[in-house]
Amino acid sequence: MEYLKIIGETNLSGEVKISGAKNAALPLIAATILAKNEISICNMPNVVDINTFLKLIDKLGGTFKKENDCIKIDTSKLHNTTATYDIVKTMRASILVLGPILARFGHCEVSLPGGCAIGQRPVDLHLKALEAMGAVIKINHGYIEASAPNGLKGAKIVFDKVTVGGTENTVMAAALADGETTIINAAKEPEIVQLCEIIRNAGVSIEGIGTSKLIIQGTNKELLNIKDFDVIPDRIEAGTYMCAAAITNSKLKINKVIPLHLEAIISKLEEMNFEILQDENSVTVMPTDEIKPVNIVTTEYPGFPTDMQAQFMALATQAKGTSTIDERLFENRFMHVSELLRLGADIHLNGNIATINGSKNTLNGTDVMATDLRASSALVLSALVAQGETSIHRIYHLDRGYEDLEGKFSNIGANVARFKE
């Protein structure tokens, strides 16, 4: 296994380029199952989760070719309809093939994703939506077995909870269903907007893109002609580098971003007394005289993202005063707290609320363990300001979602290197 060694008390400077969004790319790869043509997707992040999803496409009978940051995917000969446990257990996003495969082939089998490090994460809402469209779903030997012998029919779906993956699966299923599907309480994340736009550009009528009510006119199993496109920038990777600038109190320009997607992050950094300069495709974080504490509640887009909660907790350890973070989406997304305590942070947990006292504000380097993707990035940020050396173990979590993390951090002045245990 590999680990990262970071020497702290660093100042960062210069510019960093953000990669394509992992969480946009995953459903977009799944959407290629709806197509009859080869599609070239560019600005693909080079991260482990994308490679895992491509492996799944390969196992299902599709093909792919990589060329720089572009990947050409052809699912026209896809024939296998089962996403097996060996892949699903390593990546829950595999569930995203359920909607498109079921809509195209009339049946699909996906291993049930188990719980995960950040919470139980059930998929009941995905299944309920597909059932409303006529699917018959059984759970057998740990597999979701879905069938729709007469095809999926358009339906009215009201989500009990806002679900990113549930909305994505339903949109993809609705694109090939027979008739009109209305999704009420749909998720509005930029990743969903891009998925809807790509499907709409392939000729499927979708109204309400970017709102909580989507109306989709299905093609009744006629496969789509999806045009080539670029993946949108990763707003969470961008937010992570913004927090890296803030925690080290450095000036850093973050390029190739969509500032509109970063509004909640920018607004919280401003509350913490950072000035953020913006232009069309970049944001620059400016140093501050004093980092102010902040109160954060995680919620759906356009609110503050749960995927940035851990990084802001690391930052709050450097604020003058007491901050709070209320995690509302996942019941177990505080695994980083015990590791931050090992670095000397003063954090108290009460249910889903963390209180961070930053007045002491000195962290001391030590050995810590990454527990999930974003928790790991919080440890990297903390290590940048900690006194001495921090070793972050189990960094395979980071590799799932951050492209060339040590290369990008080294380029902006961090002292970071990867070693084998």
What DSSP string runs through 228-247? PEEPPB-HHHHHHHHHHHHH
Min dist. Cβ of residue 374 to ligand EPZ (A): 5
Of the pair 252, 329, the CB lying nearest ligand EPZ is at 329
Min dist. Cβ of residue 373 to ligand EPZ (A): 4
Sequence-distant (6+) residues with CB within 8 A of 192 are 27, 164, 167, 168, 171, 186
Of the pair 199, 386, the CB lying nearest ligand EPZ is at 199
Of the pair 89, 121, the CB lying nearest ligand EPZ is at 121
Q: Is 378 helix (H, G, I), strand (E, B) or coil?
A: helix
Of 265, 203, 211, the residue nearest 235 (C-alpha): 265
Residue 135: phi and psi, rounded to 5, are -75, 145
d(CA 400, CA 246): 24
Min dist. Cβ of residue 331 to ligand EPZ (A): 7
Buried b / exposed e over 153-188, threshold 16 CB at 10 Å, is bbbebebeebbbbbbbbbbbbbbbbbebbbbebbbb
The DSSP code for 93 is: G
Handedness of CA 42, 221, 189, 121 (dihedral sign): negative
Of the pair 329, 395, the CB lying nearest ligand EPZ is at 329
Min dist. Cβ of residue 161 to ligand EPZ (A): 5
Of 347, 339, 342, 336, the residue nearest 293 (C-alpha): 347
Residue facing ligand EPZ at closest CB distance? 165
Site of interaction with ligand EPZ (CB under 6 A): 23, 26, 93, 119, 121-126, 161, 163-166, 306-307, 329-330, 373-374, 401
Of 70, 116, 196, 243, the catalytic one is 116
Give catalytic status of residue 116 as yes or no: yes
Of the pair 8, 166, the CB lying nearest ligand EPZ is at 166
Of the pair 251, 328, the CB lying nearest ligand EPZ is at 328
d(CA 72, CA 257): 24
Min dist. Cβ of residue 236 to ligand EPZ (A): 6
Sequence-distant (6+) residues with CB within 8 A of 29 are 41, 50, 53, 54, 57, 73
Min dist. Cβ of residue 273 to ligand EPZ (A): 27
d(CA 396, CA 372): 9
Give the Cα-Cα-Cα angle 376, 330, 111 (nearest 5 degrees): 90
Catalogue the active-site residues. 116
